[in-house]
Amino acid sequence: MSSEIIMPSAETPGASEAPRPGRWLALSVLVLAVLLIAVDATVLGLATPYLSEDLRPSGTQLLWIGDVYSFVIAGLLVSMGSLGDRIGRKKLLLSGAVAFGAVSVLNAYATSPEMMIAARALLGVAGATLMPSTLALIRNIFHDPRERSLAIGIWGAMASAGAAVGPVVGGFLLENFWWGSVFLINLPVMAVLVLVGARLLPESRDPAPGPWDLPSVLLSMTGIVALVYAIKEGATLGLTPAAGAAAVLGVLALVWFVRRQLTLDAPLLNMRLFHNRGFSAAVLADLLTVLGLSGTVFFLSQFLQLVQNRDPLEAGLAELPAAIGAVATGLLAGQAARRWSVRSVVAGGLAAIGVALAVLAGLSTTTGYPLLGAGLLVIGAGAGLSFTVTADVILSSVPKEQAGSASAVSETAYELGAALGIALLGSIVTGVYRGFPVPAGVPAGAAGEAHESLGGAVKAAVALPADQGTVLLTEAQRAFVEGLRLASAVAAVVLLVTAVAAWFLLRGQRLEEGAGGGH
C-alpha cells in the first residue's frame, strides 16, 4: 500500500501552530448550529399534517413547502462557501444565524401556503450560510490534525443526533403545542450561537480571494436547483416534459459553470480540488451513501407510523438507535482510520450499512422492533465511521484558505444524494405501492386517494364501512412494505458497490498526524 499523504504544501506548518485557546468552547457553538439545521430538516415531516389542516395548501403547494428548503440550500451551498472564504466565515455564520432566527418566526406564524413557501425558501438561504461555515471554521480553529479529527467526529455526531432528535422533539411539541412551535425552538439556540459565537469564534478568510463572480453564482444555483427539481418531479410524476426540460437546463448550466471556473483567475469553486483523488473519492462516497440511506430512512418513518401504527413521538424514539450508533463511532472514527487505514474504515462503514439494509429487505408488516432497532444501530454506526473520515479527508485535502469551498462541495454532495435517494428509491416504493388491488365495491374516489399514498389509504379506509376499510388498508400496507423491501435491496446494492469503490479509490490515503506523531 502506498504511503502517500495528501497534504498541500501550504498546510505543512499547520501541525506545529500553537493550539488556539478556547477552541473546544468555540466548537460547542459550531455544533449548536449543525444540531439545529439537522433538527429543522427532519421536524417539518411530522408537522405537515397539522400544517395542512390549518393552511389548506394544494397538493403542489404542499410539495413545495416540503422541498423548497432543500432546493435553496442545495443551490446556494457552493456560492455561500465561497462567499465565506472571501468576506470571513465568522461574519457569514453569525449573519446567517440572525437571519435563521428571524425567518423561523416568519415560518411559525405563516398564514397562507404562499407565505409558508416563501418563508421556507428564506430559511434555506440562511441555512446555506451556516452549513459550510461550521466545517470550514473547524478546519481553521484546530491546527493539530488529531484534534481536528475528533472535532469533526463531534461535529458529525451532532448532525446525526439532530436528525434523530428532530422527530422526538417534534413529536413532543406537536402533542403539546401548535405546529408553529417546531420553528420557534430555533430562537433560543440561535441567540446563544450569536452571543457566544461573537466572543469565541476567530475570524478566518482567504487572504487573497479575488472578486465573487456573480455569473458563476447564478449558474451554480440554476444548475443544481434545476437538477434537483428534475429528479424530484421525475420521481413523483414520471418523466414529464417539465422534468426533462429542467434536467437539460441543469446539466447545461453546470457544464457552463465548470467551464467558467477553469477560465477565471479567482473561481467561485476551484475545480482543481477534484484532481486530488482522495477529495474526489470522499465526495463521491458521501453522495452515494446519502443516496442509499436517505431514501430508505425516509420511508422507514412512514413504515413505523402508518404500517405499525406508532404515534409520532414513539416513531421518533424508535429511530434513536441510528443516532446512538453514529455518535459512538463518529467520535472514534479518526483514531480508527489512523490505526488501520482510511480506506478500511470508510469501506467497512459502508459495507456495514449495506448489510443492514439487506437485512431490512426482509421486512414484513409484523417485523418486531428488536430486528429494526439492531438494523438502525448498525446503519448509524457505519454512517458515523464513513462520514466522519470522508469529511476529514475532504478538509485535509485543501489549503486552509479554501476550506469554505471544500466544505460546500461536501455539503452539496449530501443534498444531491438526499434528493436522488428520495427520488429514485421513492419511485421504486411508489411504483410497487400503486399496483395493489382495490377490494370490490370501493368507490373510485376512495380507490384513487388510497393509490396516491399510504397516508391517503389510511384516510380512505376510515371513511369506508369497517370490513371494506380494513381490507383496503391491509392491501395498501402490504404493497407499501413490498416497495420498501425492494428499495432497501437496491439501496443495499448501492452501498456495497460504494464500499468496494471506496476501497480502491481511497488507496494510500492517510489522515495527517499530529505534531508529535510520525507520518
- pLDDT tens-digit profile, the chain (519 residues): 332 222 333 333 344 456 666 788 888 888 888 887 777 777 776 777 777 777 877 766 777 777 788 778 878 888 887 888 788 888 888 999 999 999 999 988 988 888 988 998 999 888 888 877 887 788 778 878 888 888 888 887 777 777 767 777 777 887 788 888 888 888 888 888 888 888 878 787 777 667 778 888 899 889 888 887 887 777 666 678 888 898 899 999 999 998 998 888 878 777 887 888 888 888 888 888 888 877 677 778 778 877 887 877 787 788 888 888 888 888 888 888 888 888 899 999 999 999 999 998 888 878 888 888 899 899 889 988 888 888 888 888 777 777 777 777 877 787 778 777 777 777 787 778 887 887 777 787 777 777 777 777 777 777 777 777 787 788 888 888 888 888 889 989 989 999 999 899 888 778 766 544 433
- My answer on whether 324 and 413 are in the same domain is yes
- My answer on whether 338 and 239 are in the same domain is no
Last residue of a domain, one of 226, 242, 267: 267
- My answer on whether 310 and 396 are in the same domain is yes
User: Would you call 440 exposed, middle or buried from its count of C-beta atoms within 10 A (0-12, 13-18, 19+)?
Assistant: exposed
- My answer on whether 367 and 398 are in the same domain is yes
Q: What is the pLDDT of residue 12?
A: 37
Q: Which long-range contacts (CB under 8 A, 24 or more apart) does 362-367 make?
A: 362/485, 363/303, 363/481, 363/484, 363/485, 363/488, 364/481, 365/307, 365/308, 365/477, 365/478, 365/481
- My answer on whether 188 and 281 are in the same domain is no
Q: Which three cell numbers stand for residue 449?
A: 386517494
Q: What is the pLDDT of residue 43?
A: 73
Asked if the structure places residue 16 within a domain, the reply is no
- My answer on whether 328 and 418 are in the same domain is yes
Question: In a 3-state reduction of DSSP, which class is residue 376?
Answer: helix
Q: Which three cell numbers stand for residue 518?
A: 510520525
Asked if the structure places residue 14 within a domain, the reply is no
User: Which residue type is seen at 271?
Assistant: M
Other CB atoms within a 10 A radius of the CB of residue 442 amount to: 19
- My answer on whether 458 and 386 are in the same domain is yes
pTM of the model: 0.77
Q: How many domains does the chain have?
A: 3
Say how far apart CA 114 and CA 212 lie, in whole Å: 32
Asked if the structure places residue 68 within a domain, the reply is yes
The alpha carbon of residue 300 and the mean position of all alpha carbons in its chain are separated, in whole angstroms, by 16
From residue 6, give the alpha-carbon distance in Å to each of 25, 251, 403: 29, 31, 15
3-state secondary structure 2-13: CCCCCCCHHHHH
3-state secondary structure 27-96: HHHHHHHHHHHHHHHHHHHHHHHHHHHHHCCCHHHHHHHHHHHHHHHHHHHHHHHHHHHHHCHHHHHHHH
- My answer on whether 359 and 504 are in the same domain is yes
Residue labelled with grid coordinates 472571501? 86
Asked if the structure places residue 13 within a domain, the reply is no
- My answer on whether 329 and 441 are in the same domain is yes
Say how far apart CA 230 and CA 460 lie, in whole Å: 30
Residue 474's domain spans which residues? 274-514
- My answer on whether 94 and 173 are in the same domain is yes
- My answer on whether 259 and 178 are in the same domain is no
Q: Which three cell numbers stand for residue 424?
A: 429514485
CA end-to-end distance (rounded Å), the chain: 14
Q: What is the CATH number of the domain that holds 458?
A: 1.20.1250.20
DSSP track, 299-328: HHHHIIIIIS---HHHHHHHTHHHHHHHHH
Is residue 192 within 8 Å of residue 32, measured between CB atoms? yes
Asked if the structure places residue 402 within a domain, the reply is yes
Question: In a 3-state reduction of DSSP, which class is residue 515?
Answer: coil
User: Would you call 287 exposed, middle or buried from its count of C-beta atoms within 10 A (0-12, 13-18, 19+)?
Assistant: buried
Say how far apart CA 76 and CA 154 lie, in whole Å: 25
- My answer on whether 363 and 459 are in the same domain is yes
Asked if the structure places residue 118 within a domain, the reply is yes
Q: What is the pLDDT of residue 59?
A: 66
Asked if the structure places residue 195 within a domain, the reply is yes
Is residue 12 within 8 Å of residue 396, measured between CB atoms? no
Asked if the structure places residue 7 within a domain, the reply is no
